[in-house]
Amino acid sequence: EVKACSLKGERWVVLVNPGFPIQTKWAYKQLSSQREAVKPLGEFTKRIDRELSLSWEEVIGIMENDFEPPLFPFYPILGFIKDTLLSFGAQAALLSGSGATVFGIFRTQEEARQASTRLRHDTSWRIFDIPMGSTDLPHDPFHVGSSSQVSKV
């Protein structure tokens, strides 16, 4: 079951793709070789299931990506990009999914644009800054079936 949850307020996200792919199957193999079990959900993460609206600060406070520890040693540039986004003022920065794109969340458009400009100055990476804000999504739960079809419950 997938439920919509709106985020209060607006943030800007800077996406940085270093120009190479990471094969998903390989990434999952690395992940499974480095962990013995899936961590249980924390209390706040469990609470999210009951919420219809969250603040960016609440979400940023629990953001993590389990792919970072196993993948960053193979691709140190990804850790460098993450650290650079944080040094440029991102509230949070993470690997997106199994990679190779890394994103940073910024409070304002100006902060995001400054970070994008500084990153573009020295690299040939693909870089985008985009707004992420509140939206009026329906709050009805959706069920994701095994046939990859999304159906309303």
In this predicted model, what pLDDT tens digit does every residue of 8-34 receive, in sequence order? 888 999 999 999 999 999 999 999 998
Residue 115 lies in a domain: yes
Per DSSP bridges, beta strands 92-95 and 102-106 are: antiparallel
1 within some domain = no
72-77: long-range contacts (C-beta < 8 A, 24 or more apart)? 74/30, 75/18, 75/22, 75/99, 75/100, 77/18
Report the alpha-carbon distance of residue 58 to residue 50 in Å, rounded.
Answer: 14
- Domain range holding 22? 6-152
Which one is predicted more confidently, 87 or 58? 87
In degrees, rounded to 5, the angle at the alpha carbon of residue 55 between the alpha carbons of residues 114 and 51 is 145
Does the pTM of the predicted model rise above 0.85?
A: no
Say which CATH number the domain at 118 has. 3.30.70.890
| pLDDT single digits (tens) 124-148 | 899 999 998 755 444 444 444 444 4
Other C-beta atoms within 10 Å of 88: how many? 19
Q: Output the pLDDT for position 122.
A: 67
The pLDDT, as a whole number, for residue 113 is 96
pLDDT above 50 (res 7): yes
Number of structural domains the chain divides into: 1
- The strand pair at 53-55 and 6-8 is best described as parallel
Sheet holding 11-17, edge to edge: 92-95, 102-106, 11-17, 126-132
